[in-house]
Structure formats: structure tokens, C-alpha cells
Amino acid sequence: MHTVVMGTSGTTAEDVIAVARQGARVELSAEAVEALARARAIVDALAAKPEPVYGVSTGFGALASRHISPELRAQLQRNIVRSHAAGMGPRVEREVVRALMFLRLKTVASGHTGVRPEVAQTMADVLNAGITPVVHEYGSLGCSGDLAPLSHCALTLMGEGDAEGPDGVVRPAGELLAEAGITPVELREKEGLALLNGTDGMLGMLVMAIADLNKLYTSADITAALTLEALLGTEKVLAPELHAIRPHPGQGASAANMAAVLKGSGLTGHFQEESAPRVQDAYSVRCAPQVAGAGRDTIAHASLVASRELAAAVDNPVVLPDGRVESNGNFHGAPVAYVLDFLAIVAADLGSIAERRTDRLLDKNRSHGLPPFLADDAGVDSGLMIAQYTQAALVSEMKRLAVPASADSIPSSAMQEDHVSMGWSAARKLRTSIDNLTRIVAIELYAATRAIELRHGLTPAPASQAAIAAARAAGVEGPGPDRFLAPDLAAADAFVRSGALLEAVEPVTGKLA
């Protein structure tokens, strides 16, 4: 099994995904253990002094004015975890919790938090044992960190609360730790606070969203090309010299992808052969590279923000190399929240344009010779009429989910935390949006492949033939009389979601962007 070694300088998106989704093991580097010990020595020295230091010998948030005596500090750290583990609602997905735990360990291992090496090792041990704390949907405002979600994870380290074992069964965390041979941690000065104070949940979801969207955008370029082909459109608008004079990188990449899929097609370029010749394709077809390309460029910006955050140590207070322990505002989730919202916007627009292309395929007045709703016997058969309804419902929800969460703020902690990012909420709705977008692309694939097969006597591009053959082999049925449609759509969804569409096309086109 792949092992990720955690050092002091952050981590990579690839490592986050390996731990969150693939169950990679985590080890602390010798450098990280040394940095942890150095920072802890600084915290211990400050704890021994009579002067109050925030997070070490004081209360938290609006209660920071109270100086806590040494005999109450262990209780203080336990209490902050217990009281902040106040989440409610459905359970958060296992991959999100694993990403959250791994990214909190990333900051802990930086040597800027003052956490003891044994606490960091326990965090790694819990991940490696496949123990996943039960984290709930609601409880984070995206400022002062993802407090409730991280608190539920810290509670598991203490052997309290509930967690999911490697067998998928939820049980008391203490039992799971005991079975794995892991000793629960006894938190000391600053450690409870350090385990809670980060943007780790929203960052983990951002990293996974970027990975998912990169794959989806390439898939959408393929389905857009299939639709252009099915509508007997022109591939001339994809010429690289046209996109070079408006040099947005994403636009050029999407156009190149579509052109690669359409190479060798016998369906494109039939404008003048119709009784009512077209001069131009509709915007949803002709402008596909511009819309998808703008989304690609937004993803690139989000990736830049994520890379900076992956290199960051997010805590309050932090231990600096010169021995100072300073309060700061680095836990504020605004940088992550904004790009999460940006991604929800571009995902909604990609879903919207894909739905418009699908609708065009089904309308006999705009499909240039295709049967109504791609039905076998229109009137007796309804064809894909209601598949487009489903697609439209998904798009409508995506538009609602595109309303930014980060534009909102709701004060908390007796007005001490009076401006928050709502980044966790932005991340949660983005995950729903990506799920919807996958289904929307799958429906366009379903419609476009059927439409191409209905163009009798015309030969589709080799890449299109490969996509159709792979889809049919995967249970995505072709033209024919009406049948129970939901299983076909589910098969198309699985085909796109798994990456099988890309795997079918790229041996013909070469690697797509």
C-alpha cells in the first residue's frame, strides 16, 4: 500500500486524495518529529510562566480573558473538544473526514502548533487503522477553523464519541482504539485548541472537487463533441488559430479536446447539404470551448489557492521559529471559501450549456433531421423526453447551489467572531453540485450517442465510435422502443463517474487536457 510521509512543509493534492480515497498509510518524517518536539518545548516553557498566554493558559474565544491555573489546564483542553463537538445532521462522507484529519495532521506536523509528537503520531495511527470519526453536516462557520467537524475528530483521539471502524460499522471510539492497540491521548496545554483551529475540512473538499472537476470538464468536452457531431455541426469553429487570438488557456484546451474527438468524422460539415442551410451552429454548440474553457481557468485559479493552503500552517496561536507564540487570523476561511463558490458557479454554467445541447438533440425543429425526442416511433414512444426533464431539474438545483455561501456571514462567540467565511457550507454545496454535473454530462452522453447511431449512412469519428462501443458494453443501451429508462441513465452516470468515458476515448485521441 502506498505510504505518504508527512514532513514540515505541507503536502500535495495527490497525497490528500491518496489518503482520503485510496486509504494510503501516513508516516511522520524524522524532521516533523523534531519540529514537533522543538515547538512543544516552547509551549511548555510558556506554560510554566505566570503571565497568561492565549491558548496555553487562558480560555478561548470570548472567554480568553480568564487566566487558567495549571491544575485546570488539562481539563480545559478536554472541555474545549467536548463542548465544540456539537455537530448535527447527517454524517459527512468518509473521504471528507479522512481528508480533514490528514490536513489537520499536516498543520500539526509543521511544528507551528506546539502539539506533542505523540499526539501527532496518534493522529496518523487512527488514519492508518481505518478508524473514521463520526462528523456531522452542520457545525462549521468556516472561521476559527472547521470547529465542530475537527472537534469530533479530536474526540476520537481522546477515545470518546463514535467512529466508524474499518468494517464500516459505527461503534464507540474507545472500543475501536483499543482493538487497534491505540492509546487515547491525554491532552495538555494548547493541544485541544490546536486540533480544532484549521480550514482542513473545506480544503479537503476543495482538493477533491478540483480532481473531480478536472475529469468532468474533459468528459464534457467529449460529450459536447458528440453532440456537435450528432447535430451535423461544423468543427471549423474549433480551429486552433481562432482560439489563439483569444488566448485563454482553458478555451484552447477545450477546443483542442473537441477537435481531437471529431477527427475523421463523417458527420460534420453538412451545412450546405440541407434544404435550409445553416451559417452557424447555436451558441450551446459553437461556444462550448469558451464556456468550458472559462471554467477550466477558474479551476486553475482554485488549484493555485489550494496549493498555497496545502503549504500553510493554519492555527491560532502559532509557534514561530524565534520562540514567540502569537495570535493571528490565518484560520479565516475566506481564500478557500471564495474559490469553492467560484467552482459552484462554473459547474452550474457547464451543466446549463450541456442541458441546452441535449434539448436541441431532442427537438425535431432544431435537430436537423433527427426524430422527435430520439424516439423509435414518436407518439407511441416518448424517447428521451423525460431524461431531459431530469437533466433540467439537476441544472435548476445547480443554479440555486451557485448562490455564494461566502457572501454571507453570521456572528458568533458573543461577537468576538463577528465575521466568518461560511467556507464549509460552500464546500458542502459544491459536492452536491459536482454530483449533479456528473449526471448532467451522463444524460448528454446518453442522448448524443443515441443520436449519432440514428444518423444512418454516416460514419462517426473513430473516437466517437470508441465512446459508443464502450458505453454499450457498460450497459448504456442504444436506440430502440421505450423501456425503463432509469437503469440506462444510472449506467451512463457510472460510465462517466468512473472515468470509463475518458479511458475509451483517449487511446484514439491521445491524452486529452
Report d(CA 376, CA 391) in Å as an integer: 21
Q: At what angle do helices 30-47 and 117-128 cross, to 10 degrees?
A: 130
Q: What is the DSSP letter of 313?
A: -
Choose among 299, 211, 283, 254: nearest CA to 17.
211
Read off φ and ψ for residue 422, nearest 5 degrees.
60, 30
Residue indicated by cell numbers 475509451: 504
Catalytic annotation present for 338: no
**Would you state the cell numbers that stand for residue 310, as one nine-digit string?**
496545502
Here the contacts of 323-332 (C-beta below 8 Å, separation 24 or greater) are 323/42, 325/42, 325/43, 325/46, 325/53, 325/54, 325/55, 325/56, 325/114, 327/54, 327/55, 331/143, 331/144, 331/145, 331/197, 331/198, 331/199, 332/143, 332/420, 332/421
Alpha carbon 407 to its chain's center: 20
Burial (Cβ within 10 Å: 0-12, 13-18, ≥19) of residue 274: exposed
**How far are the Cα atoms of 85, 172, 396 from residue 169, in angstroms, in the given order?**
20, 10, 36
**Would you state the cell numbers that stand for residue 361, as one nine-digit string?**
438533440
Burial (Cβ within 10 Å: 0-12, 13-18, ≥19) of residue 508: middle
Sorted by sequence, the CB contacts under 8 Å of residue 488 that are 6+ apart come out as 446, 475, 476, 477
CB atoms within 10 A of CB 44: 15
Report d(CA 212, CA 214) in Å as an integer: 6
Catalytic residue numbers? Answer: 54
